[in-house]
Amino acid sequence: MDNQIPKYVKKYLDKFSYSKWNNYLSLSKKFKTIIVIPAISEFENIKLLVKSLEKNDTAYFDETLILFVINNLKSTPQIIKDDNRKTLIYLEQLSNKKVSEINSNLNIYFIDASSLGLELDEKDGGVGLARKIGMDLALLLFDYKANSKNIIICLDGDCTVEKYYISTIRNYFNNNSISAGYVNFNHTTTADKENERAIINYEIFLRYYVLGLTYANSPYAYHSIGSTMVCDVESYIKVQGMNKRKAAEDFYFMEKLSKITKIHKIDGTAVLPSSRGSWRVPFGTGQRVNRFLDGVQDEYILYSPNSFEVLKRWVEVFHSNSQLSAEDYLQKAKEINASLFNFLINNNFQNSWKKILNNSSSNEQIQKQKYIWFDGFKTLKLIHYLRDTEFSSFNMFDALDELFLKMNIDFKHKNEAKTIPPTKIQIEYLKMLRKIA
Q: Are residues 339 and 426 in the same domain?
A: no
- Give the Å distances, CA to CA, from 63 to 31, 66, 403: 5, 10, 44
Q: What whole-number percentage of the chain has pLDDT above 90?
A: 82
State yes or no: pLDDT of 283 exceeds 60.
no
Q: Are residues 314 and 277 in the same domain?
A: no
pLDDT at 278: 47
**In-domain check, residue 209:** no
State yes or no: pLDDT of 296 exceeds 50.
yes
Q: Are residues 228 and 257 in the same domain?
A: yes
Q: Are residues 69 and 164 in the same domain?
A: yes
Chain mean pLDDT for the chain = 92
**Nearby residues of 76 by Cβ (< 8 Å), 6 or more positions away:** 40, 119
Domain that holds residue 263: 7-191+221-294
- Mean pLDDT over 246-269 rounds to 96
Domain boundary among the residues 246, 273, 294 is at 294
State yes or no: pLDDT of 279 exceeds 50.
no
Planar angle of CA 274, 279, 283, nearest 5 degrees: 80
Q: Are residues 30 and 132 in the same domain?
A: yes
Whether the CB-CB separation of 181 and 410 falls below 8 Å is answered with no
Q: Are residues 60 and 123 in the same domain?
A: yes
**In-domain check, residue 316:** yes
pLDDT (tens digit per residue) in 16-57? 999 888 766 677 899 999 999 999 999 999 999 999 999 999
State yes or no: pLDDT of 205 exceeds 90.
yes
Whether the CB-CB separation of 212 and 403 falls below 8 Å is answered with yes
Write the CATH number for 114.
3.90.550.10
Q: Are residues 153 and 64 in the same domain?
A: yes
pLDDT at 286: 57
- The helix-helix angle for 249-258 and 127-138 (nearest 10°) equals 50
Instruction: Tell me how many domains the chain contains.
Output: 3
Q: Are residues 99 and 226 in the same domain?
A: yes
Q: Are residues 375 and 271 in the same domain?
A: no
**In-domain check, residue 2:** no
CA-based end-to-end distance of the chain = 43
Q: What's the alpha-carbon Rg for the chain, to the nearest Å?
A: 23
State yes or no: pLDDT of 197 exceeds 70.
yes
**In-domain check, residue 207:** no
